[in-house]
Structure 1
């Protein structure tokens, strides 16, 4: 069950990821609609537990909280996890954002709100001039989300990874601290 609230918006909350959340994270990560656009391997639960450091400080569940949801450890009936956002390498270089939502919540604006919350979190918590994110060239939804939040395309890693039967380009995006503050 998701842990304490780290940040909340109008419709979603970012909550700490707890050991009890492993089944949700592993099942969602096995879904081809999530796994293929991320370029991740298919993992069983044991492999997932080894490969995913849930104790990393900047990895959060994206949740829909009901009216009775506690800011601490809510009951299972009051919170619906719908995805994940993470920040990698924030302590020693330019932080990189990662995110996904389960498919039934795509296209509703939840992803944009969650990523905006994590950008605010990163810029409040870490002394960094910018944040970055990457998306495969075929992932129009993710690229559109980043561009709608003010990210600028900064580069392209050609034929970066073999995904879903073909070599795919990875598009690199960046958002400067001052650009974010000017846009909000």
Structure 2
């Protein structure tokens, strides 16, 4: 495995560690009903989050690697991002024809600080740079206006609305599909 380490102005993206700190951080995200509101699953318990990190580490070892589920930490001068506690989760899932799906989830206490845009930008840099992808796609719940704004600012284009594509808690929801092509990406964000 070649570990992923991406660095932006305020954030660093790294592989997860199977440590109590990373498990607690993932549980802070995936255990919060407000954070998981637009995700395809409801709040998860700590044990499930520990199992998720184990899966993420197994996926990172796959050859060839097609799934990147990564920890996002704030950068500070006082600590190495490799040891920092994650405040968000980033994901790239590779598909056919040099494409991938992009995703991000942020802890509630860091909402509204522009971190989602920095995370998505760093993932675009990885996808269109070292991974050599041609197309990125993202799914956004129609009620998640903040995420739609993030993608639009980065140059993603809305391709359409998919009706009743997610069923959660007894309700169907629609989503918007967004995409960005390699030749539309202006280049590294850092």
Structure 2: which 5+ residue stretches go unaligned? 61-67
Write the distance in 1 (CA, Å) between the matches of 2:70 and 2:80: 16
Q: 1:92 and 1:46, CA in 2 relative to 1: closer, same or farther beyond 3 A?
A: farther
Q: Does 1:85 align with 2:81?
A: no
Aligned counterpart, 2:63: none
Write the distance in 2 (CA, Å) between the matches of 1:171 and 1:104: 26
RMSD: 2.4
Aligned counterpart, 1:149: 154
Aligned counterpart, 1:126: 131
Q: Does 1:36 align with 2:37?
A: yes
Q: 1:24 and 1:91, CA in 2 relative to 1: closer, same or farther beyond 3 A?
A: farther
Aligned counterpart, 2:28: 27
Deviates more, 1:59-68 or 1:48-57: 48-57
Partner SS for 1:107: coil
Q: TM-score, normalised by structure 2?
A: 0.82
Aligned counterpart, 1:170: 175
Write the distance in 2 (CA, Å) between the matches of 1:48 and 1:14: 18
Q: TM-score, normalised by structure 1?
A: 0.84
Question: CA offsets, 1:59-87, max 9 Å, x none?
Answer: 2111112213236x43xxxx242101110
Partner SS for 1:174: strand
Offset, 1:26: 2.3
Write the distance in 2 (CA, Å) between the matches of 1:130 and 1:50: 30
